Amino acid sequence: MAAGLLIAFWAVLGTAVGSFLNVAADRLPGEASLLSPPSHCERCGRRLSPVELVPVWSYLALRGRCRTCGAPIGVRSLGVELSTGLLFALAASRSVPSNLREWVALLLTSAYLAVLGVVTVTDMEHGLILNRVIVPALGLGLIGALLTGGWPGLLSRLGGGLLGAGVIALIITLVPGGMGWGDARLAGFVGLVTGLPGVLFALFVAFVSGGVVAGVLLVSGHRRPGDTVPLGPFLALGGGAVLLYGEEILRAFHALAALR
């Protein structure tokens, strides 16, 4: 398959996955079913037609409003669909799979990015990193490590998972109230899918970006001293960066180390 065609197809697939992630982010915090009831307008209750479920296009065609009652559709829906499509396109752009193992690796990377996406939304909107998402994701990460790296790869991934979860668990123990155990489980997942030393870079990105955003919010008056900022989105950012550009990050680190 030509690279351009693969990237385009994977981007469209990503928007469809993003549409599902919107449903998951809306329903999972309330422990509702992902399948029932079918997608509908929250105000008038009308079931959405297939045309209204087309990712991205339906939002733009309807101008972000219900066709029947005119109720606004949150822009988050469009944002998640577009961002998931972009992430999938970036994953596909890394290389065109030429064998079964490479196809499995692409599918797994895309699935990991989807997990990080839904966790980002639920943590930002509800302050929750749900076990219903993370526990199955941890299982997927273990299976993925075996499929793509064999036993040596599994050991590296397990080490990354233990290190990621351990760092956050230590912070929770030493500084109670700043982070939650959901953050530790998410860091464990990030470590499991990035391995060693990838998890170190993921944690670095998470803490630096989180610190910068927290500082900006504090200076701008949107947060007060003592207020917390959800860590999940920044762990997801770090994990996503390593999943997509881990090799480049490692080479850059080695280049910087060689300058010393």
Boundary residue ending a domain (50, 68, 96): 96
Q: Which of 75, 96, 117 is the last residue of a domain?
A: 96
Statement to judge: residues 149 and 80 lie in one domain? no
Domain count, the chain: 2
DSSP for 161-204 reads: HHHHHHHHHHHHHHSTTSS-HHHHHHHHHHHHHHHHHHHHHHHH
Question: CA–CA separation, 16 vs 54, rounded Å?
Answer: 8
The span from the CA of 161 to the CA of 38, in Å, is 36
Do residues 36 and 58 share a domain?
A: yes
Whether 139 and 260 share a structural domain: yes
Same domain, 138 and 258: yes
Domain boundary at 96, 113, 139, which? 96
Same domain, 125 and 91: no
Q: What is the dihedral of CA 114, 118, 123, 129, to 10 degrees?
A: -80
Please check whether residues 119 and 232 belong to one and the same domain: yes
pLDDT tens for each residue of 193-245: 999 999 999 999 999 999 999 999 988 877 777 678 899 999 999 999 999 99
- Region 77-105 average pLDDT: 94
Residue 1 has pLDDT above 70, yes or no: no
Instruction: Report pLDDT digits (tens) over 138-172.
Output: 999 999 998 887 777 889 999 999 999 999 999 99
Residue 211 sits in which domain range? 99-260
Distance CA 145, CA 160 (A): 11
pLDDT exceeds 70 at position 260:
no
DSSP state of 56: T
| Co-location of 224 and 170 in the same domain | yes
At 178, phi and psi to the nearest 5? Answer: -80, -35
